[in-house]
Amino acid sequence: MTAGKATCQKTFLPDNKTMSKTLHEIEEAIETLPLPERLQLYKDMPQLIGRNAEDLDWQRLGLENFFQDDSPDDKVYDSI
């Protein structure tokens, strides 16, 4: 700050091209890891992305099973 004036810092947000490149680089780096390290990363991933592992498991199960319900009562929705 200078003499009572607030300074404004610009926040850098990468564009989609930069983010895609970074994501691609991360994916390539993960592929080069030895299996034990990849498994450790898989185990740690929920904490790394700020999610609860149990919540992610429930979400995955819900998505996998959502479209597998072939109940006769649901035939009404098949044509939507």
Tens of pLDDT along 28-74?
999 999 999 999 998 888 888 888 888 888 888 877 777 666 777 77
| Residues 9-20, mean pLDDT to the nearest whole number | 63
Write down the pLDDT at residue 33: 95
Cα of 71 vs its chain's centroid, Å? 32
- Give the domain range for residue 55: 17-65
Q: How many domains does the chain have?
A: 1
The pTM assigned to this predicted structure is 0.46
For 60, the token pair is 């995955």
Whether 70 maps to a domain, the answer reads no
C-alpha torsion 68→72→73→77, nearest 10: 60
| Residues 13-25, mean pLDDT to the nearest whole number | 74
Whether 36 maps to a domain, the answer reads yes
